[in-house]
Amino acid sequence: MPITPKELEWHLLTEDPNSLPWENQPILSFTITERSICLAQFEGKFFAFQALCPHAGAPLKDGYIDAKGNIVCPLHHYKFCLANGRNCTGQGYDMRAYPLEIRPDGLYIGLRK
């Protein structure tokens, strides 16, 4: 069941997402409201998703983004769509993807209240 906008609470991740250290690593990790999340950039868009692989708990920040825009787990190479979190390799595990909004004062992430 999709999350409705009324169920979300918006939190500022960064004032300027382009100033983050993307050249050092393509996937960044944050902790916000005691949740560990990853932030990635692909083809000029930003994506937020859970920090650990839903299959075996490997840190997704240590994975990579393939040419199709999937995050690839560093442990078993499961692939997940950055846009919606769906598993792309057929194992049936989906990751949690979080909505983002770019506002005049920065990049916000929507988390369930």
CATH code of 108's domain: 2.102.10.10
pLDDT in tens, 55-106: 999 999 999 999 999 999 999 999 999 999 999 988 888 999 999 999 999 9
- Region at 50 (left for phi over 0; alpha for psi -120 to 50; beta for the rest): beta
Give the separation between CA 11 and CA 8, rounded to whole angstroms: 10
How sure is the predictor about 3, in pLDDT bands with cuts at 50, 70 and 90? low
Count of structural domains within the chain: 1
Question: Can you give the pTM of this predicted structure?
Answer: 0.91
| Domain around 47 | 5-112
Angle at 93 between CA 28 and CA 8, to 5 degrees: 60
pLDDT at 1 over 60: no
